[in-house]
Amino acid sequence: MSSDGDSPTISYRTATLSDYDAVMSIGGIYGGRDYLWSLYRQLVMDPDKHGIVALDGETVVGFYMTSTFDGGRTVLKRSGRVREDYRGRGIFHALEAELDKHTLKHRPRAMYDVFANTEKEEHLADKFLDMGFKEVCRKDMYHMLLNSSRLFKPTDNAPNKPISVMELTKEDLKLLFSAGDISRQLFPAQRLLNTYMPYRLLESNIQYMICERGGAFVSLEDPDVADKQSNGRIELPHSRPPQQEISTNNRNEDLDLHLSNNTMHGSLDAASVKNVAMVSFFYCYPTPDGFLYYLDPYARKGLPSAHFRAHFDKNMETLQRYFPNQNGILTVTHDSNIAADEIISCLDDYGIVKQMEGQEKTQILYERDRAMYGFHVEN
C-alpha cells in the first residue's frame, strides 16, 4: 500500500472483488456506456488486467486500471474515475503513477503504451506528441438510441442473390489475420479499434474478439465460394442465449452471451479466405441504463453496399436475441472503406434515427514506443 504525498490521507492498493459496490458508488462515466457495472468481476480477476483503488481511510474514492494485450506487448489505461468531492487533489495522477509502477515491475515486456480518445480531446494532440505518442488511425462513429422490440427488418426487394453472412470461429480469425494482402486490405492500420481497444492482428488477441460477449461475422465477395462454404445462409439457433431481460438484480451474474460453441467447424479455408469481402465484429454488455451493442465492420475498398446491409441485418438479429424488449445504445464505428451514407441508410431503414446528445463522432488511436520514451523493455 502506498500514500499520496499531496493528499496524506489517501492510500492506494490493488482492487479486489469486494470493492465492487464501492467502485460503482463513485459514479458512472462514458455517458451511459460504463462497462464496469457488468464487467468489473471479469476484469479484476483477469491476470492481464490490473486495477488500483484510492482510499480515504477505508472509503474507496478512486479507481483506475490497465489492460495488457498483444501478447504482453501493449498496455492501455482505462476506466479511471475519482469521486466528485475528491477531485482536484491529484488523486487521478497518483492512481496513474501507481499503475505505471506496476507495469514497470510486472509487465517488463510491454513495448507500447496506447490510448484511444475522441475529437473532443483533439485540442490536446500537441501534448500527446510531446509525450511521445503518435496517431495510428481514426474511425467515425454513431451512438444511437433504440428499443430492441421496435426493430423491424426492412423488406428486401433487391433482385440479386442475397449476401450470405457467416459466423466466424477463432480458427477462422487466425486464418484471416495471417492472410497477407487480404488482411491488409481489410485492416489498413493492422489494428482493430474495437470498443476503444486497439488490438493488433495477433492470435493472442482473438480471445477478446470471439468471447463471452462478442463475436464476428464474414461475407465473401464471390457468391459461388460463399455457397460452397455455407451451404446457404447460416441462421443462429433460437436456443442461443436465454430470452431473459437484464435487470439490476442480476448485475453481478455472468450472463450467457456466447454466440455459439467455438469448437464448431469454421466458415473459412485457405481458398475462401482470399474472397473475404467484409468482417463485422460485435461486443455487447448491459449497463444500468440499458444494453450497449458495438458494431465494428471492416471492408475491402469499393465493396457493394449490399455487404454492409447484410452484416447490419445479421447484427440486428443478434442484438434482438441478446437483449429482447429492452432499451439500449447501438454504437457503429467505421473507417473510409465503408461510406457513412451506407450506415445512415441502414439505420434509417430500421427506424434507428435518434442519436445520443452530445456524443463523440470520432475515435482516435494514439501509441508510443516505451523504449523510445525512456522505459526499460525486456526482450
Q: From 262, 377, 236, 253, select the one nearest 316 (Cα to Cα).
A: 236
Q: Is 99 helix (H, G, I), strand (E, B) or coil?
A: helix
Same domain, 96 and 243: no
Count of domains forming the chain? 2
Q: From 256, 297, 302, 255, select the one nearest 280 (Cα to Cα).
A: 297
Residue 173 has pLDDT above 70, yes or no: yes
Report the pLDDT value the prediction gives residue 288, as an integer from 0 to 100: 86
Burial of 304 (0-12, 13-18, 19+ CB in 10 A): middle
Same domain, 71 and 152: no
The pairing of beta strand 166-167 with beta strand 191-194 = unpaired
CA–CA distance, 198 with 114 (Å, rounded to integer): 8
Residue 230 has pLDDT above 60, yes or no: no
CA–CA distance, 177 with 175 (Å, rounded to integer): 6
Q: Which of 61, 94, 110 is the last residue of a domain?
A: 110
Report the pLDDT value the prediction gives residue 14, as an integer from 0 to 100: 97
Residue 157 has pLDDT above 60, yes or no: no
Beta bridge partners of 192: 199
Same domain, 300 and 228: yes
Report the pLDDT value the prediction gives residue 227, as an integer from 0 to 100: 47
Same domain, 171 and 81: no
Question: Is 130 a domain residue?
Answer: no
Question: Is 129 a domain residue?
Answer: no
CA–CA distance, 61 with 55 (Å, rounded to integer): 6
Q: What is the mean pLDDT of residues 78-95?
A: 95
Q: What is the mean pLDDT of residues 350-354?
A: 95
Domain range for residue 226?
Answer: 138-364
Question: Is 373 a domain residue?
Answer: no
Same domain, 39 and 142: no
Same domain, 59 and 194: no
Same domain, 96 and 233: no
CATH of residue 75's domain is 3.40.630.30
CATH of residue 191's domain is 3.40.630
Same domain, 166 and 32: no
Report the pLDDT value the prediction gives residue 6, as an integer from 0 to 100: 52
Q: Is there a contact between 311 and 278 (Cβ–Cβ < 8 Å)?
A: yes
Residue 91 has pLDDT above 90, yes or no: yes
Q: What is the mean pLDDT of residues 212-239?
A: 61
Report the pLDDT value the prediction gives residue 343, as an integer from 0 to 100: 96
Compute how many other C-beta atoms are within 10 angstroms of the C-beta atom of residue 161. Answer: 10
E-strand ranges in the chain read 2-3, 10-14, 49-56, 59-69, 74-82, 112-118, 134-147, 166-167, 191-194, 197-200, 214-220, 276-287, 290-299, 327-334, 354-355, 362-369
Handedness of CA 185, 186, 190, 196 (dihedral sign): positive
Q: Is 293 helix (H, G, I), strand (E, B) or coil?
A: strand
Residue 237 has pLDDT above 80, yes or no: no
Q: How many CA atoms lie within 13 A of 299 on its CB side?
A: 25
Q: Which three cell numbers stand for residue 38?
A: 457488468
Same domain, 169 and 305: yes
Residue 149 has pLDDT above 90, yes or no: yes
Q: Which of 90, 110, 130 is the last residue of a domain?
A: 110
pLDDT tens track for 255-287: 444 444 333 347 899 999 999 999 999 999 999
Question: Is 78 a domain residue?
Answer: yes
Question: Is 116 a domain residue?
Answer: no
Q: Is there a contact between 246 and 323 (Cβ–Cβ < 8 Å)?
A: yes
CA–CA distance, 14 with 159 (Å, rounded to integer): 59
CA–CA distance, 7 with 306 (Å, rounded to integer): 58
Report the pLDDT value the prediction gives residue 196, as an integer from 0 to 100: 87
Q: What is the mean pLDDT of residues 330-352?
A: 95
Distance from the first to the final alpha carbon of the chain: 30
Q: Which three cell numbers stand for residue 324?
A: 429482447
Question: Is 100 a domain residue?
Answer: yes
Q: What is the mean pLDDT of residues 228-248?
A: 36
Close Cβ partners of 211 (under 8 Å, ≥ 6 residues apart): none
Question: Is 122 a domain residue?
Answer: no
Same domain, 162 and 310: yes
- pLDDT band at 3; cut points 50, 70, 90: low
Same domain, 93 and 153: no
Report the pLDDT value the prediction gives residue 172, as an integer from 0 to 100: 97
Q: Which of 92, 110, 128 is the last residue of a domain?
A: 110
**Could you tell me the pTM of the whole model?**
0.85
Alpha carbon distances (Å) from 199 to 12, 177, 194, 203, 360: 29, 12, 8, 10, 21
